[in-house]
Structure 1
Amino acid sequence: MRKWVWPLAALALIVAGGCSSSGGGFSERKSDQAANVLRYPIPNNPTTMDPAMVQDGDTIDLLQQVYEGLVGWGTNNEPVPLVAEKWEVSPDGLTYTFTIRGNATFHNGKPVTADDVIFSLERVTNPKLASPVATAYLDDIQGVVEKFEGKAATVSGLKKVDDKTVSITLKRPTPYFLGKFTYLGNAIVPKDGPPADTTITETAQMIGTGPFKVTEVLPEQKVSLAANEAYWGGKPALDGIERLVIGDALTRLSKFKNGEVDMVNLERQDVDGLKNSEFKDQLVYLDRPAIWYVAMNQLQYEPFKKKEVRQAFAMSINRERIVNEILGGINQVANGIVPPGVPGHRENAKVLPFDPAKAKEMLAAAGYPDPSKMPALTLTFRDERPDIRRAAEAVATDIKTNLGVDVKLQAMEWGAYLDKLNKKEQVFYHMRWAADYLDPQNFLSHMLATNAPENKLGYSNPEFDRLTGIADREMDSAKRLPIYAQAEDIILDDAVWVPIYFQRDVELQSPRLSGLRESLFGHLPHTTTQLK
């Protein structure tokens, strides 16, 4: 789920639990930049240090260096073995049998066993832990929902075959199961490590199998990692990684220019100025399977219960202007929900057109001929990201100009934003969803089916549920993709989301940097990354 918290109280516990404090800022970093430590910023404090709780892309990028699941993503955008060296699937497609690597060990030196695997999956589904991602990524396994709802003591679909073998039985054949199972929330932790029913709050509990180990956490400053010399895939080329917490985009860029960080993700407003600069050859463009959209919560705002109101809002927003003028034309206008790179993407799905005159007619027909009589409305968005703010401002301006509806703007700290979203209290919001696995199910039924874990806005359409239910179970790709296309058209017509753009990242990467492993999802763990 790569949404884009980590409360300072929890950070303080982690620091007290074993992290040293060196104080200071970043100005002294340039002098020791020859050290074999990769430095790059993270725009906010990590939201958690517990893989079972992680929801956002920035924190996943950090924690994937530390924790691993049985499977993960490869550079070919396909699931590959990680802690598991192989897997087998039963002829009926229901049972996956994973064999654990003989040389896979935790950071504390203990070998990974089947007991650790079962503990980890039982832990993430423990209702007392209350993981926000458990049912979203494990609900295909027999007994997960029952365990999470407190109706069963254990997950019935998990079985220890022997010390190095685990079997997982699904409720039904699921064509996207392995892709879904790569999610970092399913990472393997030692059974004698983190508590089974509370989140990780101490560095001593932050034990994974990944290529790097956490050594230091300084709130609002940095998280430091050291290479795992006993990593099953071989010691990384880097000695360590430092993730510097830098909220301001201009400061992030300045630190790259000064040689204090090795790569940085750019805001669109900065790209044009770099194209003809000394850094032009260090610009890297990366397409991502992600969509930025505006969502309308029917649970919190009475007018959004009417399809015509949602359609009016959608048709009042000039997406072409936002993408090509305000954001510089780097991203691709989203003419659908399913992004490029994901099977089932269509260049021209049935998105509602920009039509201000029709939008006014529809709003009036829905019972709001005088837009000033509509209840007060605020568009919320993540703070500290200029691109997000600029898009939100444009949306609010379009709605005021083309519909006459006043929309206030509220930037929110990322942690508070996600907390409100999880409680289904975000009313009108600008948000991103990035693929966890390359399947339209991750963007359609996973997000917007009536009982979907990620449906935070009260949307329900029986025909959409029927179609996605059929497609979710169909194993033949040639048959299931057209069914998803029908479901996507329903979503677009219902105007549950207003698609704005498909994401394209732009980074500056230092010429010192080589060996980065890439996938559509982003940078893979830095097992082969090198610094000159």
Structure 2
Amino acid sequence: MKPGKRLTVPILSSFLCALALILSACGSTTSTPTSVTKADDSKQIFRYPVVGDVATLDPALVEDTDSNFPIQSIYTGLVTLDSKLQVKPQLAESYNVSSDQMTYTFKLRSGLKFSDGSPLTAKDVIYSINRTVLPATKSDVSYYLQLLKDFDKVNAGTLPTLIDDSLSAPDDNTVVIKISQPAAYFLQALSYPTSYVVNQKLVERYGPQWTDHLDEGAGSGPFKVASYSHSKGIELVANDTYYGKKPGLKKLSIPFFTDQAAMYRAYQSKQLDYTPVPPENLETERSNKQFRELSQLSISYLAMNYLAKPFDNIKIRQAFALALNKDIIVKTAVRGAYTATNHMIPQGMPGYDLELKGPDGTTSTKGNPDKAKTLLAEGLKEEGLSSLPPITLTYYAKNPGFKKAIDQAQQQWQDNLGVTVTVNSVARAELLKLESATKNNAGPLQMWQANWTADYPDPQDWLSTFYQKGTDYNQFNYGQNNSTAATEQQAVQDELVKADVESDNAARLKLYNDAEQKTINDVGWLPLWQLKAQSLTQSNVHGFNLNSQQQLPPDDWSDVYITQ
């Protein structure tokens, strides 16, 4: 999702455990030993920490993983992703698609209610989706709905609403959605919280502060808000109006913490039921039966501005990429907590390409210093330069491991290329602002840190989101530059357009694989590692297994409970 997901800060991603599609958990707690007894209702409380205060509890605005955890518990949408990342109906009982693949008709479950007991109808669904798109909502993630017919007109303010246009409710139990082009990933995108249903009366009664009043009946998820303190945390209780399988827990407590170390200490003193494991404690905890290590659909990488000298030259970008030994960086800077990678699409995602090569044509993540030196010399000659201009790498330093990784990258660029790179550490909010300002400009950023975590399980979320012409996240100006490689980049952009509308899944994955290889050759990203989540879960907690989207499907809360 976006920084935090929207160019996710790595520390946030590591706070959430993901059920890997490719790995199995250590210390799994999914089954109940015959010798233990389920605790009584007063003990059915699960305490899960996040970095607080959360950025938002508005599903139209959520961009980060910590905010997404309570949002996924409070609200639901037409569809969701199950434990295997397959789309399944949620508020919808069923759906069908027109022959031209551009009209989706959803039939809602009967008797749907908000957590205050008021009816939830098709009009609430289309109100909520339309609200996300309206300019007044100021959603930075409304683009997940950009497939909606006339999205661009409403988002630009030239059309007042999508209701009775691409969104309609013929009756209380039917939602009709029209999209602008066939897209195999539409339902996956619809699973993102931007389409989740909110209670219109709360939004209209309280305006921008409506999420401070969620205890008045906000959503339709398995839990409802009992209290929300911006300084302490969120207290949720089981929603007795929930239409699906009721939660096994009576309370879900989400206390706010400042960092992993504080969470870890609280867990050790039995104040929490779950905690991420700080890197410095990994080796100690690996033998703990409560320890889990799970692969995440999240990549940390460095980005280069194609409009900024010297990174407008492909050979210089390739030189910087091949000068890094990612294996050494991962082993020493982050203590082996992650997996070195050359990929954009992470392992475990549909479309992961086992055959993908780095810019030197090999699968090695050890770098290639000799080739890097040759490429740098050739790039300098092409640019008519005897040396590189000053280079600055901007990054967010909240994560100590990433600071060490940047230090090592600096040293490897110095040792292997003779290049001095200056680093600039800024606050997370400032980095996001600088990234947005870099789109279509030679500055303010030249090279910077970023991270991306899957919003939905489709390669479109990794490739088209970043590399298509005009997208908000093409902040490195791929294809929108005057370099000698611009024509090839624009051909890749055309290939992504074709992939997005291709109905044959095998054919579209092949197109995405080809586009990924070309963008890696071009150093669209300089991938560093794929994240893994290391965590501890108390042994009396059963059934708590997030999927690799870092979500627990709503009905799966019925499997989570506490034993004595």
Q: Is 1:381 matched with 2:400?
A: no
Give the 3-state SS of the residue equivalent to 1:281 in structure 2: coil
Task: Decide which of 453, 464, 470 is 1:434's aligned counterpart.
Answer: 453
1:42 aligned residue: 50
Q: Is 1:3 matched with 2:3?
A: yes
1:93 aligned residue: 101
Letter in 2 for 1:60: N
The separation in 2 between residues aligned to 1:470 and 1:457, in whole angstroms, is: 22
Shift of 1:379: 2.7
The separation in 2 between residues aligned to 1:519 and 1:189, in whole angstroms, is: 24
1:253 aligned residue: 264
The separation in 2 between residues aligned to 1:462 and 1:195, in whole angstroms, is: 44
Shift of 1:427: 4.3
1:393 aligned residue: 407
2:278 aligned residue: 267
Shift of 1:417: 3.6
1:344 aligned residue: 351
The separation in 2 between residues aligned to 1:242 and 1:403, in whole angstroms, is: 51
Shift of 1:223: 2.4
Answer whether contact 2:52 2:233 (CA < 8 A) is retained.
no
1:203 aligned residue: 212
Answer whether contact 2:46 2:249 (CA < 8 A) is retained.
yes
Letter in 2 for 1:377: T
Answer whether contact 1:379 1:396 (CA < 8 A) is retained.
no
Q: Quick check: 325-334 or 138-147, which moved more?
A: 325-334
2:477 aligned residue: 458
The separation in 2 between residues aligned to 1:394 and 1:73, in whole angstroms, is: 38
Answer whether contact 1:127 1:147 (CA < 8 A) is retained.
yes
Q: Quick check: 357-366 or 475-484, which moved more?
A: 357-366
Task: Decide which of 223, 228, 241 is 2:252's aligned counterpart.
Answer: 241
1:310 aligned residue: 317
CA RMSD in angstroms, aligned pairs only: 2.5
Letter in 2 for 1:380: Y
Shift of 1:193: 2.4
1:531 aligned residue: 562
Aligned identity (percent) is: 28
Letter in 2 for 1:244: P
The separation in 2 between residues aligned to 1:109 and 1:242, in whole angstroms, is: 22
Shift of 1:44: 4.1
Shift of 1:497: 0.7
Answer whether contact 1:269 1:387 (CA < 8 A) is retained.
no
Shift of 1:409: 3.7
The separation in 2 between residues aligned to 1:415 and 1:338, in whole angstroms, is: 26
TM superposition outliers: structure 1 runs of 4+ over 6 Å: none
Give the 3-state SS of the residue equivalent to 1:117 in structure 2: helix
| Residue-by-residue CA offset, 1:344-393 (whole Å, 9 max, x unaligned) | 2112312124122332333343338665x52341331251x333333333
Answer whether contact 1:50 1:199 (CA < 8 A) is retained.
no
Q: Is 1:362 matched with 2:375?
A: yes
The separation in 1 between residues aligned to 2:423 and 2:116, in whole angstroms, is: 48
1:481 aligned residue: 509
Answer whether contact 1:49 1:201 (CA < 8 A) is retained.
no
2:73 aligned residue: 65
Answer whether contact 1:319 1:500 (CA < 8 A) is retained.
yes
Say how many residue pairs are matched: 498
1:334 aligned residue: 341
Q: Quick check: 456-465 or 243-252, which moved more?
A: 243-252
TM-score by length of 1: 0.87
Shift of 1:153: 1.4
1:22 aligned residue: none
Q: Is 1:157 matched with 2:166?
A: yes
Question: Higher relative contact order by CA 8 Å / sep ≥ 6: 1 or 2?
Answer: 2
Q: Is 1:407 matched with 2:416?
A: no
Could you list the runs of 5+ residues in structure 1 that have no partner in the other structure? 6-32
Letter in 2 for 1:355: N
The separation in 2 between residues aligned to 1:401 and 1:146, in whole angstroms, is: 52
1:27 aligned residue: none
Answer whether contact 2:129 2:194 (CA < 8 A) is retained.
no
Specify whether residues 243 and 87 from structure 1 end up closer, same or farther in structure 2 by C-alpha distance, changes over 3 A only.
same
2:27 aligned residue: none
Shift of 1:74: 0.7
Letter in 2 for 1:333: A
Specify whether residues 306 and 195 from structure 1 end up closer, same or farther in structure 2 by C-alpha distance, changes over 3 A only.
farther
Q: Is 1:504 matched with 2:532?
A: yes
Answer whether contact 2:95 2:107 (CA < 8 A) is retained.
yes
Specify whether residues 510 and 416 from structure 1 end up closer, same or farther in structure 2 by C-alpha distance, changes over 3 A only.
farther
Task: Decide which of 71, 74, 81 is 2:89's aligned counterpart.
Answer: 81
| Residue-by-residue CA offset, 1:449-485 (whole Å, 9 max, x unaligned) | 1222322222222111111111111111121222112
Answer whether contact 1:49 1:200 (CA < 8 A) is retained.
no
The separation in 2 between residues aligned to 1:451 and 1:134, in whole angstroms, is: 15
Shift of 1:501: 1.4
Shift of 1:499: 0.9
The separation in 2 between residues aligned to 1:66 and 1:481, in whole angstroms, is: 34
2:37 aligned residue: none
Give the 3-state SS of the residue equivalent to 2:539 in structure 1: coil
1:222 aligned residue: 233
Shift of 1:151: 1.8
The separation in 2 between residues aligned to 1:212 and 1:291, in whole angstroms, is: 31
Shift of 1:275: 2.4
